[in-house]
A and B are shown apart, each in its own frame.
Chain A
Amino acid sequence: MTTGTGEALLRIDRLSLKRGRNTVLDEVSLSLGRGRSLGLLGESGAGKSTLAMAIIGLLREPEVGLSGSLVFDGTELTELSESRFQTLRGRRIGLIFQDAMGSLDPCFTVGSQICEPLRRHLKLDKRQALDRAAQLLDSVGIPDARARLSAYPHQLSGGMQQRVMIAIALACDPELLIADEPTSALDVTIQAQIMTLVMDRVRALGSSAVFVLHDLALAAQVCDEVAVMYGGQIVETGPSALLLGSPLHPYTQGLRACVVELDSHELEPLAGNVPDPGDMPPGCRFATRCPKAGPRCTQVRPPLVELEGRRVACWVAQGEPVGVAS
């Protein structure tokens, strides 16, 4: 639908998050236009879930140290009070988590859980809410929607539960949907169903979406843009087809080379491991594992610069001399 025109819906500017002594997010800068979908990619510990949690305000002072700016449709979220945030969550920002079974309250029926945001945010009365809930269940492909309103979560299959989560997330027609690994726990054919459904609904509403994913191929299929994270930093971000088709950052290249495809001849895995958050090297965080790291890489942190249609944080990509593989 609408491409990112004018003011971005979500603008993150040099957002940093510290937990104790560890810098979990390090000057992350991103923007997301209206109607666009963004995939956050990276391995465990990269900070993608943390970033998602920070956007929806589940990580706040004083448990963590936040600095930088996080603007949603003109509102600065880092300074928002919890009560103001609650009016945003569920109403203008929808959330889907990986573990549907754990996110749905086993003591309440599916219908009452869908009605909760409807009655709270849209101030619908009981009957209106139930009608809308039935509509929502139907729109996410649950057969016999009206009858299902009185079902409990454990009576539904994994795929069905995830659909209910999607219904709840989209109940109030949010402008932004945040989904953290929404289909990792599902069988692959069900995953295809669910992702197709989510994208259809999101596009129909003209909403934006942020997906936290580990599956690069899925991100390529589903997201307009992707941002690759490593060690709490964005190392490369841009249009997904372009970035994943011809990645510039050595980490992205490494990740891409690791993905098992049907015609993979030989996988070339990345050497080494992600360093501990308390143990990050100076300069480029990936330098210790990078096959192309040069002298500058280990000393100075590369800034995110515009290059070949995307933004990348890499000295080598910018033309610095390639070093010997360490």
Chain B
Amino acid sequence: MSARAGQKPLFSVLDVEKAYEVGRAPPARRFARGAPRLLHALDGVRLDVAEGDAVALVGESGSGKSTLVRLMLGLEAATEGRLLYRGTDLASLGVEARKTFSREVAYIYQDARGSMNPRMRIGDVLAEPMRLHGLCAEADVPARVGALLERVGLSATMRDRFPSELSGGQVRRVAVARALASEPKIVFADESVAGLDVSVQAQLLNLLRSLRREMGLTLVFITHDLGVASYLCDRIAVMYLGRVVEEGPTGDVLTRPRHPYSRALMDAFPSFGRPLGAPLRGEIPSPIDLPRGCRFASRCPQARDACRETEPVLVADGPGRRVACAFPLSS
């Protein structure tokens, strides 16, 4: 874990689980209700985010990365486990603390356009967090809005437009601007560059990187794209079916993966100068009826009997690295 000695991490996720009920199994007796069938979106996640970190949450469908972020934002409550922000449990934040939390924690939605009120002009969209948290005098708001727009590479005249008038790339930039408007300590972003043309994506990535450097922001970035993860973030947490299976410095994990799933992700990722690798077999299992033992065993190229018996725990594996595998890959 990368928390500097003596410094409390900004965010602590402690053995968090999140289960959704998705119907019930057939009842054992007539007139009884069947046992609830649970979808385990998160099944025991332990993660720390220190101030100044840039963490990439990487995983495929069903990995639980989006759910984890929603829990960290307080949008939903965990079924088990605790989430701490600056040492305080999210579930027991007082009114004042809650306000501070909303100011210090910003979220860039995946659906950037949908996350803005279509009837509000961009200028008002950006001004809203400023006014809400009383960050400056009312008279200064237009100037700050203009400055924000220019910081994200848009012209200040955009303040009078509506979100529906903007292109996909522009609306993402406004979403970034809005996240910055409250002068946050930590920014969460969900696939903020997915689905964009490469040149637009590159522009946005550069923007995020320079903003991070300039403002010393803490960043938690959800992505399925390993290249984006390595470009933006210095730490990576690979998730599979509701658990973190590997964690560590991005470059390290991606060049010397220890978990077979991380290696499989690396191999599957298209890259120049490398032919299409032998892909992972099998489908991603359903998070509803999880198999016993290691949840990756069904697809793992080196699964052994022991793997199907006991679930591996996330343990330290060298400086700053953790891996959840009974037989980690050798470097």
Contacts and interface: CB of A to CB of B under 8 A. Distances in A.
Nearest to B193: A260
B202 A188 contact: no
Given A189-B60, A258-B199, A262-B226, A215 B279 contact: no
A126 to B, nearest CB: 30
Contact of A193 (B225, B273, B279): B279
B254 A255 contact: no
A195 interface: yes
Contact of A261 (B197, B224, B251, B272): B272
Interface in A149-167: 157-160
Contacts of B202: 257-258, 260, 267-270
B198 A43 contact: yes
Interface string A208-233: 00000011111011100000000000
B265 interface: yes
Contacts of A259: 198, 227, 272
Interface in B191-205: 197-203, 205
Interface class of chain A by DSSP: helix
A191 interface: yes
Which of A196, A218, A261 lies at the interface centre, i.e. has the most chain B CB atoms within 10 A of its CB?
A261
Contacts of A187: 60-61, 224, 284
A217 B206 CA distance: 20
B284 A258 contact: no
Interface in B221-254: 224-228, 230-231, 251, 254
A215 B267 CA distance: 16
B276 A196 contact: yes
Nearest to A193: B279
Contacts of A245: 272-273
Which of A188, A261, A264 lies at the interface centre, i.e. has the most chain B CB atoms within 10 A of its CB?
A188
A196 B279 contact: yes
A304 interface: no
B274 interface: yes
Contact of A269 (B199, B227, B280, B284): B199
Task: Sort chain A's interface into a size bin.
Answer: 35 or more
A189 B281 CA distance: 9
A222 B271 contact: no
Given A189-B265, A255-B198, A269-B199, A260 B228 contact: yes
Nearest to A267: B202
Contact of A260 (B200, B205, B274): B205
A260 B227 CA distance: 5
A168 B280 CA distance: 23
A290 to B, nearest CB: 13
Interface in A291-311: none
Interface in B130-158: none
Contacts of A244: 272
A267 B206 contact: yes
B270 A260 contact: no
Nearest to B60: A187
A69 B322 CA distance: 60
A44 interface: yes
Contact of A191 (B254, B268, B278): B268
A190 B251 CA distance: 24
Given A187-B284, A196-B276, A261 B198 contact: no
A3 B251 CA distance: 40
A206 interface: no
Contacts of A214: 197-198
A71 interface: no
B277 interface: yes
A2 B205 CA distance: 42
B264 interface: yes
A221 B278 CA distance: 12
A221 B275 contact: yes
Given A189-B264, A267-B206, 7 more contacts: A188-B60, A189-B60, A190-B284, A222-B276, A260-B230, A261-B271, A269-B199
Shortest Cβ-Cβ A-B pairs, 9 listed = A260-B227, A269-B202, A192-B279, A192-B268, A217-B270, A187-B60, A218-B270, A258-B202, A43-B197
Interface of A: 43-44, 157-160, 187-193, 195-196, 199, 214-218, 220-222, 244-245, 254-255, 257-264, 266-270, 273
Interface of B: 60-61, 167, 197-203, 205-206, 224-228, 230-231, 251, 254-255, 264-265, 267-281, 283-284
